[in-house]
Amino acid sequence: MSEKKQLKAALFAAFPFTLPILAGFLFLGMSYGMLMASRGFSFLYPCLMALTIFGGSLEFVAATMLLGSFAPLQTFIAAFIIQARHLFYGISMLEKYKDTGLKKLYLIFGMCDESFSINYSVEIPKGVDKGWFMFFVTLLNQSYWVIGATTGGLIGSFITFKLYGLDFVMTSLFVVIFLEQWLKEKKHYTAVIGLFSSVVCLVLFGAEDFLIPTMVCIVGFLTIFRRPIEKEGGLL
C-alpha cells in the first residue's frame, strides 16, 4: 500500500470510533468556550488552551484560576493533581505506543481520557496501520475539542442550548468501554477494584477531591491482590 493510501485507510477506520466524542467534545468544548467568553476572555484563550493543554477538566478549572490572583506554585500543584490520572494511562500504553515512530510524541501529548480509552480498547481493523489509526483517533478528538472551544468562545453566551444533557454521551462512552472490557475478561477483579475504590472514595472525599485517593486505592489493591489476579486469569 502506498503511504497516502495507508493514511487514508487509517483515517477512515478511526473516524467512526470518534463519533461519540465528536458529539461530546463539540458540546462540552462549546460550553467551555462560552464560559470563557462570559468571563470576558477573547476566543483566543479557549482556542489556544484547547490546543496546548487539551484536558477538559483542567481547562474549566483554569478558567477560574485566570480570574484569581497569580499563584504559580498553587497552579502547578492543582493542575498536576487534576491531571494525575494520565500517569495511569501512560503506564497502560507503554506497550501499545511502542514502535510508532515520531507519532508517539503526539500520541502522548494528546492522550486525553477518551483517546486513551479508545486506543487501549478498540480492536484495530485488519490491514490498518496501528500507529496511524491511534494517531488519527487522537488528532480527530483534539480537533473536535479545539473547534468546539473556539466556536463557543466566538458565539459567547448568546445561544441557549436545547442540547441539555448531551454531555451524557461521555458517560455512555465510558460505560460501553467498561462493559466491553468486562465482557472480554474472564475474571472481573480489576474492574471491581476500580469501581469499588472510586465509589468509596467519592463518598468519603467528595466530588472535587476523590480522584487521587481513588488512584492510591487502586494501585494498593492491585498490588495486594497481584498474585490471585495473575494466577486466576484476572488479566486480559
Partner 1 sequence: MSMTEQIITIAICVLATLLTRFLPFIIFRGNKPLPKYIQYLGKALPAAIFGMLVVYCLKNVNVTAYSFGIPELIAIVAVVTLHLWKRQMILSIAGGTIIYMLLIQLVF
Under rule CB under 8 A, which residues in 27-66 are in contact with partner 1?
48-49, 52-55, 58-59, 62, 65-66
Judged by CB under 8 A, does residue 161 bind partner 1? Answer: no
Q: How far is CA 223 from CA 113, 213, 216, 226, in A?
A: 23, 15, 11, 5
Nearest to partner 1 of 155, 191 (CB atom): 191
Closer Cβ to partner 1, 7 or 222, answer by number: 222
153 sits near partner 1 (criterion: CB under 8 A): no
What residue has cell string 495507508? 6
The DSSP string of 28-68 is HHHHHHHHHHHTT--THHHHHHHHHT--HHHHHHHHHHTTS
Does position 194 bind partner 1 by CB under 8 A?
yes
Single out the residue of 38, 220, 230, 232 in contact with partner 1 (rule: CB under 8 A). Answer: 230
Is the Cβ of residue 141 or residue 214 nearer to partner 1 in the bound state?
A: 214
Shortest spacing between CB 92 and partner 1, in angstroms = 5
CA angle, residues 32, 38, 40, in degrees to nearest 5: 110
Cβ nearer to partner 1, comparing 64 with 157? 64
| Cα angle: 144, vertex 90, 77; to 5 degrees | 85
Cβ(90)–Cβ(104) below 8 Å: no
Single out the segment in contact with partner 1 by CB under 8 A; choices: 5-13, 126-134, 150-158, 187-195: 187-195
Choosing from 12, 15, 44, 87, the residue that interacts with partner 1 (CB under 8 A) is 87
Query: Any contact of residue 234 with partner 1 (CB under 8 A)?
Result: yes
| Cβ-proximal residues to 161 (8 Å cutoff; 6+ apart), any chain | 27, 31
- Which residues 124-143 are close enough to bind partner 1 by CB under 8 A? none
With binding defined as CB under 8 A, does residue 235 bind partner 1?
yes
DSSP character at residue 128: S
Other Cβ atoms closer than 10 A to 41: 17
Q: Which stretch binds partner 1 (CB under 8 A): 2-10, 78-86, 130-138, 139-147?
A: 78-86
Q: Is 147 in the site for partner 1 (CB under 8 A)?
A: no
